[in-house]
Every structure is written in C-alpha cells, then in structure tokens.
Structure 1
Amino acid sequence: MRALFVMRKSRTDDMGESGPGKALGENEERFRLMVEGSEQVFFYIHDLEHKIEYLSPSVNSVLGYQPDHYVGQPYEVMLTGDPSDELVAKLTDSALRQGSGRSTYSMLARHADGHTVVLELVESPVERNGVVVGMRGFARDITERRRAEEALRESTQTVRALIEASPLAIVTVDLERRVKLWNPAAERLFGWTADEAVGRVEPHVPETKQSDLKLIREQALCGEGFVSFETQRMRKDGRLVDVNLSASALRNGTGALSGLMGIYADTTERKRLEEQVRQSQKMEAIGQLAGGVAHDFNNILTVISAYSDMLRQSFGEDDERRADAEEIHKAADRAAGLTRQLLAFSRQQVIQPKVLDLNRVVTEVEKMLRRLLREDVQLTTILAPGLGRVRADPGQLEQILMNLAVNARDAMPDGGTLTIETSNAPPGITGGANPGSVVLLTVKDTGTGMNAETKARLFEPFFTTKEVGTGT
C-alpha cells in the first residue's frame, strides 16, 4: 500500500536565517529528509492559490510522475475532472481560511498512464506565529481497498437480492436463538412479518419440536451442516406446517460461531400428493379385487334375476305377490348395474352410456332412496315435464344419487328436506354444449352446508370430511 504525505502551505514573509526562523528551517529540513525516505508523499500548497511547493519522491510510485511535474502548479492538476473535485477545492479553501484541520477524506487523482487512483488524505494546518501558512497532510493510495469494498458491497447486494427473491423461507438466528433475518418467503410460510419476527426467540418452533431443535443446533454448531431434515414448524395462527429443513452454522469475521441459518421448504403439497399416490395404489389394488368379485357376484345375480322372473310370471296380474317379485327383479337389475360399475372401476368393462329419460331414472331410484333416509328426512322430487333426453350410464347416475342422498342425510342430523329436481337448463347455461341442449339435475338439502375450506377441496378425488369407518 503506497501513501502520499501532503503539505499545503500559504504564502508568508520569510522569517530570516537566524533565531526562531533558522531553528524552524532546520526542523523542516529534518522532517523533509524523514518523509523522503518513507513510502509516503508530502506536499506543500501556497495559501489560497493551491500551488504545490513540495512532494516527496514516493509520489512517483503512486501517481507515476516525478515531484517536479507537480511543484509550482495548483494541486488541481492531479484531479480527474470528477464532479467531486469542486467540493474538494471548496473544503480546502475553507480550511485554509479558518485555519482548521480536516477529517479523513478521499479524492480521485489521475495516474500518468491515465487510470484513476483513489487517495485518502489526512490534513492539518501549519501555523507560524499564530498565522496559518499552509496545510500539511498524508495521502494514501486506497484504490485496491475501495475496489474490494465495492466488490463486497455488490456481493452483499447480490446475496440480499437472492434472499429476498428466494421461494424458500430463510431464517437466521444468533446464539441465543433470536431471529436476525426473516425473508419474504418466511413471512408467507409462517405468517409473521419480518418486523414481528426479528428480535424474537424463534416464534415458529413449536414446543413439541424443541428436542429436534436441540439436535439440529448441536449438529450445526459443531460445523456439521445438514440438508433435508423432515420436521414441522408452526404458523402464526397456530397451525403446524410440514417442512424440509436445511441448516448450517454462521461465523463472524474472526471465524467464531455467531448463529445459525435455516432454509425451509414447505412440503405440505408434496405430502398431499404422495398421499394421493398411495390412495391411487390402494384403489388400483381394490379395483383388481373388485373385478374378480364382480364377476362372481354377477353370476349369482343372473340366477336371482332368472328365478325372480319365473316367480313373477307364475303369479297372475291381480296377485299382490307379483309386485313383490317385480321389485326383486328390479333390485337384481340394479345390483347388476353395480357390478358393471365395479367392472368399469377395475377397467375390465367400459362404461355403457346410452340415451335415457332422467325423470325415469329419478323415479326408479326414489324407492331405494327412501329406504336409505331416516324418518325425519323428507324426500321431495320435482320432475320437469318435457325434459330433454341425456346420454349417460344409468347405473352411475343411480350411484351418484344414492351417494348424494346419504351425504345429505348425514348433514341433517336433526332432520330436514332432501329435494331432487330436474329441469331444462336456461339459455345462459350451456356446459360446453349447444344452447338449449343441457339438462340440469339438482340435489339440495336443508343441512349444515360446507365451509369455504371444504368447498375449495370439493373436487379432490380422495378428500372427505367423514370420520374413518363412515361415509359411502
């Protein structure tokens, strides 16, 4: 690191070659010899004209010129033309007039090869007989230091931008577990704002996970960073959230441990999808089992259907038992429809949609629905005359109505009304079909209804509000 020792001097009368003047001259000569042997540059400026009287030889190593290049010229010849030059000159004038020193400051100087050198200067006034006659100072080349500071500033800004933009929650704490950094992703994941979290002892760590935290801290503080630790953290509203945690120790400038950094990935959605995959695998296994059962059950239904048909034909038209035999036959047909659904579920038989009368489907399933409902639940059907035909699998329509009826029954523990209504859709509702060619099947009840959270998950394939062992 090179430095300039600078002296700026105001013009004054010569004090002579004897007495105090001679002693002062000898002192200055000794000081000059000391400076010229150092790696610092000393220069002298005449009063308000800023003319340089002296520079030590080491100016050559800093600015590339010999001292004679500057002596007799205003020090402004060193400057680069930067807008800050004007301020440097004004402050120098003010210091000379007031006879006051200047705190450390920097200025830009031009090297002989054209590049810019950053100088740091420390100055003080020179007085003789109480009169300010100049300004002396040290100038040091801090170009490399300034570059390092700028690089560090850019690096810090880059790291800050990465932390702010990270989709992962990043939290740093000191050795007392007080939060020092809480990025926007942490705000979104845990619910606390940075202002609320910083300075507090880790608000997102629930009591049930304190033992895990102790293990994490001990491992990280020993310098053993780790990744992908599955755990839970707490949101501001008290709910637990599944997270994947990676952590490492933080060290200060001396290398001593200063805290911990944790990076959190929300695994709630991933775990939900994993659970759906497991459910799908279970359903696939059930489907294979259902296919085998359906074939065997269908054989039994064929026998029941045949015997019920024979029984029905054996009774006369006025015989009351004939109606019972017909109900047995219809039940066997509906059961056969269920086996078709099981086979479709197991991919061993395709769905069989056909053009049908929706009113007739509702009428045929109505008797079965009344047996499923309790006495305190009233079933009402409103069937529109002139209803358009639809193309659908009748067995699946019946199953849908049965499931909805059972759900409605469970939603009305104190009784109520279940209404099934058919209608031709008004012109504004098309469902992707041609206007006027859509039929509506509406099922509504007077039960407890669904909250917003349940509505948001209404069409998830494996979502249910039923307890284990209940539902359809």
Structure 2
Amino acid sequence: MSVTTYPVKAMPRQNGGYAFQKNANAAIAELSRCYLSHESLSIDDISELVLNQAKKLTQSRYGFVAYIDPETGWLIAPTLTRDAWKKCKVEDKSIVFKKFTGLWGWALNNKKIILTNNAQDDPRSSGTPDFYAMAVHRKFAEEKVREGEEKLRAIINASKDIIYTINDKGIITFISDHARNYGYDPEEILGKPAAMFTHPEDVQRTIKAVKKAFRTGKTSKMFRFRIRKKNGDYFIAEQKSGIINRGGKPRLVSGVIRDMTEQRNLDARLRANEEMLRKFFDTAKDAIFIKDTNGVFIKVNKACAELFAMTPKQMQGKTDWDIFPRKTAEKLIERNKTVMEKGETLFLDHQLETASGLKIMNAVKTPLRDSRGRITGMLGIARDVTEFKKLEAELIHARAVKAVNKLANGVAHDFNNILSAIDGYATLMLETAGKKGRMRLAIEEIKKAVLRASKITQRLQKSGIKHSINAAQSPDS
C-alpha cells in the first residue's frame, strides 16, 4: 500500500485521464524493472522504490509505503518520507497499525486506488493513521501561518508608516520597507540600537521610555521625537506603540512611526492663513458679522461693533431686536430669512440708526454652509455709503440744473429771435402808419408785448445761471 499527500493547488490536472494512466503504467514498469534487475531487494528497498514512484507520480512531498504482515495481519510501514518527521515534528511515531480505518483502510479492504483532494470530507473517511494525520495537520498549519505572514507583510509594506520592533536592549529586531523612503535599507538597520537613529537631544528621553515600557508592560499613548534620515536630516516623528508578551513577560515593543513633517507644515500654513484672516477681519473698515440660524451675532469685527458704540465682545450673543428699533429689526429679520431659508445671497441698502446718527449701509449677506451643504448661519459685510449717497444726490441735482439751464438758454435764444422779428416788423409798420388811428395803437401794443416777453426771457436766463452757481458753491442746496 502507498499513500501520498500534496496541496490541492498542486493536484495533477491529468488525474483520472489518459495521461495519468500512462504515467502510472510507466511507474509500475519502472518498479518491475528494478525488482527484476536486483536479486537481493529487501522489503525496505522495495517500499522505498514504490514511495519514490508514488511521490513522483502525484507530485507529493510526503508519503509512506506499508505491507500487511501475513502472520499477524497488521499493517507495517517500513519506510516513510524521511524529512516529514523533521519538518512536521511528529513525535512518538508508530509504523505498525493493527486496525484498518479511514480511507487507507477502505483502499486495503476494497483493493482500489483512491485519489482525493478533500480526505476529511470524503464519506469513506473515518480517520487517518495517527502519525500521518499529525503530519498533514502540521503541514496545513504551516501553510496557514505562511499565508498569514504574507498577508501581514503585504499590509505592513503598504502602510505609509514605519513599523518596527525593538527588544529590551533597545535593539531593532524588525523594520518595514518604508525605511527606504528615508534612505535606509532595512538590512542595515536591523540589529542596531534605535538610539543610533534618534536626535541627540531626544536619545535619553527615548531610552527612558523604552525601559519604562519593559518595566511596567505599558507604553505611552503618543510619543514624539526626531529621527535621523540617512542624509543627516531629521524629521519629526509621532509614535504609537504596544507591548508583545511571551510567557507572560514583555519581550518586544512594537511601534508605528508616522512622519509628521507634512502635517506640521500643513498646520503652519493653516495657522498663517488663520492669522491673515484674523487680521483682515479685525482691521477691515467695513462692518463684518456672522450670525447663527437663530439670528444671534456669534462674531463681529471692531468696525461693526463701533457703529453701535459697543465692543465685539459686548455685541456677541445679541440679536437685531436688542440693537435696532422694532420696525428696523422686523425688516432686517425678514430679509435674513431669505438668506438662511432660501440660501440666496442678497445685495441691498439699509437705512440704520447708529450711535452717530442715521446712516445708509450697503450690505452683502450670504449663507454659510457646512461640509454637507447645510446652512449653518450667515455672513454679512456692510459699508457706510452715506457720504457716497449724498454726493450721488448732489451730482444728480447738478446735472439736472445744468440740463435745465441749457434748455432755458436755448429756448431764450430762439424766443429772442422770434421777438426780434416781431419787433422789427412792428417798427416798419409804424413808419407807414399815420400818427393817429386805430392801426397805430394796435402796432404800439404789439411792441409793448414784445418788450414784456423779452424781460421774461431775461429772467429765465438769469434763473438758470443762478441755480448753476448755487449747485457749484453749496452742495446742501
């Protein structure tokens, strides 16, 4: 009887086919040739030849060959795969089997060959030889461990962090490939003290932390120190670590090191941006304010607070009801609803009663949103445009006066031309009219009317000039 085993993935694809039968016949022929060509082959020699051919045929690593003793009826396995004991570490091995069980027993009792990839689930299986079961289980366990190690190694190598272990002497016993990003080959780090790669100012602190970890069995939640790159530069590291115990005692410290350089640079840029925005907010001449969805001022700048004779701190927490008259507050709140309920941005002018009097404020109000797009408040920027509006009104008035003056001058000029013509013809008519009579009286009335009309035209011209002078000299006019 010959029994062999091999991984499922190595199962010959030609099993049960013509090629496999051909190879099996060739193996039997080779065994027959060896048996016939040697006169003094022992049972051990024959078993060894059979085992080698069976392993070759099935591409197996381990197996055994056994025979039934004619006197006792026991199954005796004189030869086994010799390196199986060493690799599988089977103890108290037995080569004599008094009972025929499991698949091998079925093969003996039925005198048939069994080829299977799933011996444990085979309905003919009720057990395997003890020593062989141990070997198979050991092999499967080794493969699972190896697969687990490969997965763990893949996870470690995929990590952007450096993963390492050190012993109680501070010697590095493992380090991930991520060390290459800092110029090191992992092999040149293994076996060396971790202190060699630590900034001189941080060495004593790190040594103290390692000793404490092995003494107490606990590590710091977070440990920051500087690590030297191969080019001599240092980077700021943030480490999380844990204890690996063996036999109930700390044996190794496992650590995950994260390079905080990029994070520190990002933090510095954020702080710089925040400082710039703070200065802009505090020094802006325009009034800037932020309200929550309830209309409460949660942040205002100095310019905004000074409009109402307050400090920014005094204005925080107040609403429009606390600052403005009722009618003004109602209008402001109604407009704010458009911003916070509909999400619209408004551009508008307000007339507001401030500490220094009535002012016209040009305001922009826009909704504030969180990362999900939900409205969380309102940002407003308001500028005092009172003087601008006053100048704008004066400019409009001046332009109107200029237009009227231009029109008046044009009308007066044309009217004077008409009056001159009428007056001229009336004069000619007087020269031909008699000294008395109704005709002369009528012509004299025409000339009087022309004179009155001329005086009206002169007054119209003087009025336009006067308004132009007043508009230029007195803006309040």
Give me the TM-score of the superposition, normalised by structure 2: 0.47
In terms of fraction of residues, the more strand-rich structure is: 1
In terms of fraction of residues, the more helix-rich structure is: 2
Q: Which has the higher contact order (CA 8 A, sep 6+)?
A: 1
Q: Which has the larger radius of gyration?
A: 2
